Structure 1
Amino acid sequence: MSAKAVRGAGGTALSHSKESLSLAYVQALLAATGLNHNEPKIDNDGIDITIRGKGFCGYFEEPKLEVQLKCTSRDGCIDYENNELVYQLEKKNYNYLVKPSPIPLILVVHHAPPTFGEWLDEHEDGTTIKYASYWYSLYGHDPISAGSRVVRIPLEQRFDSKALMRMMESASNGQMIENLKERASE
């Protein structure tokens, strides 16, 4: 049975449930940081969520960050030798993220267990979303003419509340989001 034919107990296709899982992870971070968000009613430009801040002290008091969300549970998506999450991104999505934009654009890929029943750890003390999300900026990369491109996201680029707030500070200061290795090589 193909992954597209797999459905959860409630009837939703696996691919749609993965979208919900990646969005739930980001919304939990937004709740913890006090940031706000908008979701487009129709996803025809590759942005799943716009994160919005208020009261920042930089050039922009209300910075924004546009995010394309993906989710993977593919075997071998974590390259432990190179400490990277490996994700195949389609041309349409890739090219949208490399184009110049007045608002920083990032890719966020959630790495999840393979089955619905493993996505949450529910117990008396609370609920934990498994595993984690990782971010990557394609700003300044060259567009591709066909197919797809493998994106290798360093595991140190975990999308958590600290990373999110650093990105919002950068956006407030009118700076594009840079990958950690690119920043370290300057």
Structure 2
Amino acid sequence: MPTEKPTRSTRDRILDAAHALMRTIGLARTTTKEIARAAGFSEAALYKHFSSKEELFVQVLEERLPPLGPLLNELGADPGDRSVHANLAEIATRAALFYESSFPIAASLYADPTLLRRHHRATQALGTGPRKPVEALARYLRAEREAGRIRPGADPDAAAALLLGACAQRAFLYDFQGGERPEQPLDDFASAVARTLLEGVG
């Protein structure tokens, strides 16, 4: 007897609708009313699960985009047995995919300074924001420095900013060029960025 597919929860359907709208028309133009309508619910039902559009945005980043935060937190707590290069290459791969997915969603915020300030305040209140991956990567690099796997004088904050900045720049170029894939494959890019960074801190 075939088993029935589990019904997606209200929360999941709202997140799916929010992700689809934010990806296609941008965060600035997406409203909670449109999200609720696309999900097939009332706006009141949406607010039973999410306190604001900003919270929805944060949850879309965490639950619908390629995961970056969990890996960074895991490595910051325990660098593991793999080489520093392997860890940094995996971080670069995930970061490039994360920024590639998030850039089209968030870019529209920069056209509206008032909305940008509101989102900045809201993400701060939620304990998140674009600085979090940089801080988490810096924690990981400090753990590697304490373990003696990178040099004592290395600057974890600067190194984290360099690696993630390179990944964000790749995503910007990808989006600016209309989704045209960069000539350098992602695996090659991630390995090269990790290797170049290690030449400075290793």
Give the TM-score normalised by structure 2: 0.30
The answer to which structure, 1 or 2, has the higher relative contact order (CA under 8 A, 6+ apart) is 2
The structure in which a higher percent of residues are strand is 1
The structure in which a higher percent of residues are helix is 2
Higher Rg of the two aligned structures? 2
